[in-house]
Amino acid sequence: MSNTYSNLLFHAIFSTKERVKLLSKELRNRLFPYISGIANKNNFKILTSGGAGDHVHILLSLKPDLSVSKAVQLLKGNSSKWIHDNFTDLNIFSWQNGYGVFTVSRSQADIVENYIANQEEHHKKMSFEEEYIELLKRN
- The whole-angstrom separation of Cα 97 and Cα 106 is 29
- Domain segments of the chain as ranges: 8-138
79 or 2, higher pLDDT: 79
pLDDT at 3: 79
pLDDT at 136: 66
- The whole-angstrom separation of Cα 75 and Cα 89 is 21
pLDDT at 130: 73
Q: What is the CATH number of domain 8-138?
A: 3.30.70.1290
Model confidence over 20-41: pLDDT tens digits? 999 999 999 999 999 999 999 9
39 or 132, higher pLDDT: 39
DSSP category for residue 96:
P
- The whole-angstrom separation of Cα 126 and Cα 43 is 34
Model confidence over 37-90: pLDDT tens digits? 999 999 999 999 999 999 999 999 999 999 999 999 999 999 999 999 999 998
Burial string for 7-36 (b: 16+ CB within 10 Å, else e) reads eebbbbbbbbeeeeebbeeebbeebbeebb
- The whole-angstrom separation of Cα 8 and Cα 56 is 20
Sign of the C-alpha dihedral computed for residues 138, 71, 75 and 108 taken in this order: negative
